[in-house]
Amino acid sequence: MSTKDDVREFLIARRANITPERAGLPARSEDRRVPGLRREEVAMLAGVSVDYYTKLERGKIRTASESVLNAIATALQLDGVERAYLFDLARAASAGAGRRNPERARTSVRTSVQRVLDSMTVPALVYNTRQDIIGSNLLGRAMFAPMFDTEQPNMARFIFLDSRAPAFFGDWRLACSLTAAMLRFEAGRDPLNADLTALVGELSVRSPQFRICWAEQDVHEHRTGRKRYRHPEVGDLDVTYDVLELPGEHGLSITTYSAEEGSETAEKFVLLASWAAARDLEAPAVSLDP
């Protein structure tokens, strides 16, 4: 879709999520034709005219000021990630967006980064913005062994296209929803990223579940939390994940998966390391940069 389409669908979806009661407006007894706020109600809450908000919702956001965008975000009760996404869409719609030089997604890590990964005692993976796994340590390859069957492991492709994914994730539908939301957030940040656009197109064609999740217009930025996996060799793993950005490496981040000391999952990590060593899981290729 074009940026105008992205703006329109995002604002409509967010408007539909806010009821008059939640927005602090008086409840009305008559039947409402929309599930959430009307355009005129959003305009009133944001302090702009109905005509002006209608133009914004139609995707004409290029000239919107920062104060107007903040007012719209407040009226729609956007969280920090959604607000950032709205501003990203506005930047993409501006005249300067078309002149930016898009950066291709990195497909490898420096050898120094690989040494850091190998020194970690917990599973760790390096992702680029389109969720290619371009680096890992032994425990990371062991924990996500089903994904490393392909030449270039990709978390999004595995979740939406691999028949093993529903059994591997403790909550597969939540994983689908969050993954689509993360891809949308990255697409807003870098709308000219051809690799990311191609991935979204591929998943849209091949996965009905992705089409459902993408249509929800949600955005999400992964930072930290808990997840549960069902590993085919060691069983359930209940882990805490933390995402660490790599300074100086555009679009790359390290995700670590840890467990409380003495927990059942921590003990299973020991079993996982033994299993991985016995399997001699092959490390992915890294760049030759120093």
Lowest mean pLDDT among 29-38, 67-76, 154-163: 29-38
> Is 50 exceeded by the pLDDT of residue 24?
yes
What is the third-level CATH fold of 3-99?
A: 434 Repressor (Amino-terminal Domain) (1.10.260)
271 contacts: CB under 8 Å, gap ≥ 6: 233, 234
Average pLDDT score over the chain = 89
Residue 30 pLDDT class (50, 70, 90 cuts): low
- Answer yes or no: same fold for 3-99 and 111-279: no
List the Cα angle 32/35/41 in 5-degree steps. 70
Reported confidence tier of residue 150, pLDDT bands at 50, 70, 90: confident
* Fold annotation for 111-279: Beta-Lactamase (3.30.450)
Which residue would you say has higher pLDDT here, 27 or 275? 275
| Structure tokens belonging to residue 69 | 């965008």
Could you state, in order of their start, the residue ranges of all structural domains in the chain?
A: 3-99, 111-279
Which H or E element spans position 248? none
**Is residue 184 pLDDT above 50, yes or no?**
yes
Q: Which two tokens stand for residue 145?
A: 């062994």
Question: Is the pLDDT reported for residue 93 higher than 80?
Answer: yes
pLDDT bin (cut points 50, 70, 90) of residue 102 is: low
Host H or E run for residue 183: helix 172-189
